[in-house]
A and B are shown apart, each in its own frame.
Chain A
Amino acid sequence: MAKTRWFFIQEVTRLVKYKIIQISFLLALMWCGILWLVGSEGAQTFLPLFLFIDASVMSLMMIGAILFYERQENTLKPLLVTPISVTHVIVIRLFLGVLIALQSMLILGLFSRFVLDVQIALWWWVFVVSVIAFAHSVIGFSLTLKVKDFNALLMSIVFFMFVFGFPTIFFALGVISDTFEPFLFLSPTHGAFILIEHGMTQAVSLWQLLLALAYLVVVSVGLLKYWIIPNYALLGVKE
Chain B
Amino acid sequence: MKAKIFEVENLTYRYKKDGPLVVNGIDFHIEEGEIFGLLGPSGAGKSTTQKILTKLLAGYNGKVLFRGKPLDSYKSDYFEEVGVGFELPVHFQKLTAMENMRFFQNLYQKQVPIEPLLERVGLLEDKDTLVGSFSKGMKMRLNFVRAMLNDPKVLFLDEVTNGLDPTNARILKDMIQEFKEAGGTVLLTTHLMHDVEALCDRVAFIKDGEIVETATPRALKLKYGERRVTVEHYLNGRTAKANFELDGIGDNPKFLELLKTQKIETIHTGETSLEEIFIQITGRDLRG
| Closest A residue, CB atoms, query B107 | A82
Question: Contact check: which of A3, A18, A239 meets B94 at CB < 8 Å?
Answer: A18
Q: Which residues of B contact A10 (CB under 8 A)?
A: 103, 106
With a cutoff of 8 Å between Cβ atoms, the chain B residues found around residue A82 in the complex are: 79, 104, 107-108
In the complex, are the beta carbons of B107 and A6 less than 8 A apart?
yes
Q: Could you tell me the distance in whole angstroms from the C-beta of B145 to the nearest C-beta in chain A?
A: 12
B54 surroundings in chain A (CB, below 8 A):
81
Asked whether B95 is an interface residue with its Cβ less than 8 Å from the other chain, the reply is yes
In the assembled complex, B92 has its CB within 8 A of some CB on chain A: yes
Contacts A14-B95, A81-B55, A233-B56: A74 and B109 contacting too (C-beta < 8 A)?
no
Kindly state whether residue B67 has any CB partner on chain A within 8 Å. no
Q: Main secondary structure on chain A at its contact with chain B?
A: helix
* Consensus secondary structure, chain B interface: loop
Complex: A233 Cα to B95 Cα, angstroms: 24
On whether A77 and B56 interact (CB within 8 A), knowing A6-B107, A7-B107, A237-B51, the answer reads yes
B94–A17 touching, CB < 8 Å: yes
**Residue B80 is within 8 A (CB to CB) of chain A in the complex:** yes
User: Which one of B82-90, B174-182, B272-280 contacts A?
Assistant: B82-90
User: How would residues 91 to 115 of chain A score, 1 for a CB under 8 Å from any chain B CB and 0 otherwise?
Assistant: 0000000000000000000000000
User: B58 contacts which chain A residues (CB < 8 A)?
Assistant: 233
Q: Is B93 an interface residue (CB 8 A)?
A: yes
Q: Contacts A10-B103, A237-B57: A83 and B94 contacting too (C-beta < 8 A)? A: no
Cβ of A22 < 8 Å from any Cβ of B? no
> What chain B residues lie within 8 Å of A236 (beta carbons)?
56
Cβ of A73: which chain B residues have Cβ within 8 Å of it? Answer: 90-93
CA distance A80 to B77 in the complex (A): 13
B95 touches A77 (CB 8 A): no
Minimum-distance CB pairs A-B, first 10: A83-B76, A82-B107, A78-B90, A81-B84, A6-B106, A74-B90, A83-B79, A17-B94, A84-B107, A237-B56
If A14-B92, A17-B94, A73-B91 are given as contacts, then 15 extra A-B residue pairs at C-beta distance below 8 Å, sorted by A number, are A6-B107, A73-B90, A74-B90, A77-B90, A80-B56, A81-B84, A82-B79, A82-B107, A82-B108, A83-B76, A83-B77, A84-B76, A84-B107, A85-B76, A239-B88
Can you pick out 7 interface pairs between chain A and chain B where the beta carbons lie within 8 Å of each other? Answer: A3-B106, A3-B107, A73-B93, A77-B56, A78-B104, A233-B56, A236-B56
